[in-house]
Structure 1
Amino acid sequence: MPLVTTGELVTRAAAENSAVAAFNIITLEHVEAVIAGAESVSSPVVLQVSENAVKFRYGSLLPLARAALAAAERAAVPVALHLDHVQSDDLLRQAPGAGFSSVMYDAARLPYAENLAATRAAADWAHSQGLWIEAELGRVGGKNGDPALDAHAPGARTDPAEARAFVAGSGVDALAVAIGSSHAMTTRTATLDHALLERLAEALDVPLVLHGSSGVPDGQLAAVAAGGITKVNVGTALNIAMTGAIRAFLVAHPEAVDSRAYLSVGREAMVRTVADLIRVLG
């Protein structure tokens, strides 16, 4: 199936009062598992490559991107490619040529004025290349000399008025908001602020994105998908599934040396996780 754009999938999800699932990929097994899981429930999906994943692959974007592109074009469901948490302008500029339709530009580490200026410049360039662009805003810092608070720091929350000003000033197409989730959670114990999400949805006219979704229980994920979140990012949940399955296999088969034996077990565990999470999101 021809590659689709992230913007198309998010727009469709918003119209259906649901959320599109976006999974971070690191290996070819991740790519195959995400597509197989999405196909098993007949759902579109977004494949995401983060800047950290690029660093892991010796700093080279193209090998993983081309593998993802080839797999996406063979998929039986619509698939989009998204470049995630980009801080490097050099990496940002590689996105169009590598097959990505969208990018999440992350300048949240900067004081608010610098964050806004950097994101505005990134958005202007991205739009000139036909890219859909997402940004992230936690609690704006930089006031009275205070540093910006990372969107996933404990207690970080996105203020609706600040978010409205940031979206207007930056020109981004979507905003990831801080409502209680956190990156790299290995337990599903996050408690989301649903009242704040309602206020954010009322204040903003761009799609809202939830990062750090691996730590959010199913019921809360379903609620935010119906309550204004239109893109849900998942990464750690796949790694938990893959690592757990491989660990169990190697304990049970200490003589195993063929990587295909344990990687296939890990891949199938990720397939099940992908399908389960997509079902939750509707």
Structure 2
Amino acid sequence: ADSIIAFGGGSAIDTSKAVGLELGVPVVAVPTTYGGSEVTPFYGYTEGDIKKGKRDRKMLPKSVIYDPALTVSLPANVSGPSGMNAIAHCVEGLYARDANPVMSLLATEGIRVLARSLPIVVQEPANRDARTDAFYGAWLAGMVLGSVGMAVHHNISHVLGGTFRLSHADVHTVILPHAVAFNHNAATEAIRTVAEALGVKDAAQGLYDLATRIGAPTSLKQLGMPEDQLDRAAKLVIEHPYPNPRPVEYAGIRQLLENAYRGELDLNSELSVQHRGRS
């Protein structure tokens, strides 16, 4: 073969990027979900119950074809979480260690357009204008993810997906508002930007409400996470912490996971207030 056509969601595109890199052939990506993998220079994989990744700009697809007509039959329970996954890339891009003004502009626009389009995509699956907007948001999110780092949200999501085999996009959807609450007082300007992009007063609550509005899962319990494994998950997160505005310590992560398991967003607990004053 002299090229690879990657058609489908993030897993299909990541697999194609890995094969293309190994064979030294170009990839043409035709995404059908909204995670943004088609414009990132890395792929993820699970080895020994641990989520890992490989980064190399050579694997970037040479061309990307966005055709909203290919997504009109995508079920709401896939479309919604897929878009929330993209929002997570944008949110963490705002407070990543290597965040920069250009990527922050893209991230803000990505949150805004996805928050506007996802409810329509879910309620009116055949609405191609909304599907087009969602693809635009996916492109923005992928550009952000591929240009700046990740933080505690992705850290936790990778553990839950890699070790406990929970659905990738669903995990991102559930964890995102809790991660934002966790970082609220350690990244105040970034979180304020998220709230403004969502058009709400509180970013974490706005993200939780958006997930509810599009019928996405809001608890780890819904995803089949064993409650007796929350301790293990917290320990795995702190063993290999990603750079994050707030220190990644066991007590805070364990409480975050407990809240996420129950689907209870506690904006007034020690989870969000114990680091008040940091910026």
Structure 2 length as normaliser, TM-score? 0.28
Structure ranking higher on relative contact order (CA contacts 8 Å, 6+ apart): 1
